[in-house]
């Protein structure tokens, strides 16, 4: 006697490999049992037959390919059921694959794309507006502030604020100004959308990985998850890999020509305030310390541990003080 289960049901075969008894699964049972089959566990339907028949072999655990070769052709008549159940299982797996990690990856990717588009358009806007009032260019370095100012204040008001008696800019017609302000309005809208995305990302990070968020920061933490592919994959990386995430090109360049190129000291974590605020000569040591704590924070988040983010961040800050 032989026993075999698949997404359609559990089947009992006699010594001649003819189906003797069978139990069909509903769609929900197929979904549940397919997970158990993947894990190699015994199904409830199989337990009933194992108890009922003494000398019965579970072919899911056999290494005899000849027996399987005789059993599998018997399922041809169940082709329609196989098709329906597999489609249902596949759709559910696709649905379950959409995790918070993917939402974080998409959000940080959209923010980075917003930055690229905004920077490109602001460069165009600054050059365009300079024909009208070039003196503001050097006075306002912050791009978002620049867009906000030119949309809200007239040229005459700006001249008074900046103490500009005579401007080099040309007094262009209103229809030409409208075109400039139209671009400025679009850029302002992009800034507003980007800010909403950043707020949303902060909420996602606090919900999914609060410890990583506390140690690395929202943006860097999200970038690390994006580079790794998921929080689960990031957990499996050692601290040395976390330290270099984002510096793959520099690393491969060094591997190709070690004499010409030095190995990178850090990847995206170089953007961390604790590295930016200190001497460049300490960046490698700080990056190493920070990567150690990030690797620990990620493990705490993945395995649903207590919140230790502030403690880990303080440990990094204390070690930086010792380095100085």
Looking at residue 249, its pLDDT comes to 86
- 74 contacts 13 by C-beta, under 8 angstroms: yes
Which positions ≥6 away from 248 have C-beta within 8 Å? 267
Q: Indicate if 228 and 198 belong to the same structural domain.
A: no
Q: Indicate if 54 and 127 belong to the same structural domain.
A: no
Percent of the chain residues past pLDDT 70, beyond the cut:
100
Among 56-70, 114-128, 138-152, name the most confident range. Answer: 114-128
Residues 167-178 have pLDDT tens digits of 888 888 899 999
Q: Indicate if 318 and 219 belong to the same structural domain.
A: yes
**Residue with the larger pLDDT of the pair 255 and 222:** 222
Looking at residue 137, its pLDDT comes to 83
Q: Is the pLDDT of residue 228 over 90?
A: yes
d(CA 199, CA 272): 19
Task: Please state the φ and ψ torsions of residue 263, each to the nearest 5 degrees.
Answer: -70, 145
d(CA 87, CA 185): 47
CATH code (residue 40)? 3.30.420.220
Which positions ≥6 away from 178 have C-beta within 8 Å? none
Instruction: Tell me the residue range of the domain where 67 lies.
Output: 2-96
Averaged pLDDT for residues 183-194: 96
CATH code (residue 241)? 1.10.246.90
DSSP state, residue 162: T
Sheet holding 19-24, edge to edge: 19-24, 9-13, 2-5, 57-58
Q: Indicate if 196 and 214 belong to the same structural domain.
A: no
Q: Indicate if 226 and 314 belong to the same structural domain.
A: yes
CATH code (residue 190)? 1.10.287.4070
Q: Indicate if 263 and 276 belong to the same structural domain.
A: yes
Ranges assigned E (strand) in the chain? 2-5, 9-13, 19-24, 57-58
Q: Is the pLDDT of residue 281 over 90?
A: no
Angle between helices 283-302 and 218-228 (to 10 degrees): 70
Final residue in a domain of this structure, among 96, 112, 132: 96
Q: Is the pLDDT of residue 279 over 90?
A: no
- 118 contacts 190 by C-beta, under 8 angstroms: yes
d(CA 307, CA 104): 20
Final residue in a domain of this structure, among 174, 202, 230: 202
Q: Is the pLDDT of residue 31 over 80?
A: yes
Mean pLDDT of the chain: 91
Q: Is the pLDDT of residue 312 over 90?
A: yes
Q: Indicate if 76 and 38 belong to the same structural domain.
A: yes
d(CA 274, CA 276): 6
Q: Indicate if 181 and 214 belong to the same structural domain.
A: no
d(CA 52, CA 144): 75
pTM for the complete prediction?
0.80
Final residue in a domain of this structure, among 77, 96, 115: 96
The DSSP line for 8-77 is SEEEEE-TTS-EEEEEE--HHHHHHHHHHHHTTPPPHHHHHHHHH-SS-EEGGG---HHHHHHHGGGGGG
Phi-psi category of residue 107: left, alpha or beta, with phi > 0 → left and psi -120 to 50 → alpha: alpha
Provide the pLDDT confidence category of residue 224 given band limits of 50, 70 and 90: very high
Averaged pLDDT for residues 260-265: 83
d(CA 86, CA 7): 7
Q: How many domains does the chain have?
A: 3
Averaged pLDDT for residues 198-209: 96
DSSP state, residue 153: S
In sequence order, the β-bridge partners of residue 12 are 3, 21
Which positions ≥6 away from 65 have C-beta within 8 Å? none
Q: Indicate if 220 and 317 belong to the same structural domain.
A: yes
């Amino acid at each position: 006697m032989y026993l075999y289960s698949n997404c359609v049901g559990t089947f009992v075969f006699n010594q001649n490999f003819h189906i003797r008894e069978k139990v069909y699964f509903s769609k929900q049972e197929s979904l549940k049992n397919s997970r158990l089959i993947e894990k190699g566990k015994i199904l409830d339907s199989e337990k009933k037959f194992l108890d009922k028949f003494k000398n019965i072999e579970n072919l899911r655990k056999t290494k005899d390919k000849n027996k399987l070769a005789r059993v599998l052709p018997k399922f041809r008549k169940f082709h329609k059921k196989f098709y329906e159940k597999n489609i249902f299982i596949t759709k559910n797996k696709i649905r379950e694959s959409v995790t918070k990690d993917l939402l974080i990856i998409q959000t940080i990717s959209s923010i980075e794309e917003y930055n690229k588009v905004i920077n490109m358009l602001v460069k165009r806007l600054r050059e365009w507006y300079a024909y009208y009032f070039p003196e503001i260019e050097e006075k306002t370095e912050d791009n978002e502030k620049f867009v906000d100012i030119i949309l809200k204040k007239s040229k005459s008001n700006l001249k008074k604020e900046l103490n500009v008696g005579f401007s080099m800019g040309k007094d262009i017609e209103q229809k030409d100004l409208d075109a400039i302000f139209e671009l400025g309005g679009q850029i302002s809208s992009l800034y507003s959308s980007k800010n909403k995305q950043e707020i949303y990302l902060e909420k996602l990070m606090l919900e999914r990985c609060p410890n990583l968020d506390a140690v690395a920061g929202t943006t860097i933490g999200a970038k690390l998850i994006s580079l790794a592919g998921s929080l689960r994959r990031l957990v499996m990386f050692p601290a040395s890999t976390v330290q270099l995430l984002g510096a793959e090109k520099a690393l491969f360049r060094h591997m190709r020509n070690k004499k010409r190129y030095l190995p990178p000291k850090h990847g995206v974590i170089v953007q961390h305030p604790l590295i930016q605020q200190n001497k460049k000569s300490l960046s490698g040591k700080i990056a190493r310390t920070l990567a150690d704590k990030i690797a620990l924070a990620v493990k705490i988040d993945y395995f649903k541990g207590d919140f230790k983010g502030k403690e880990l961040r303080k440990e990094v800050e204390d070690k930086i003080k010792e380095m100085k």
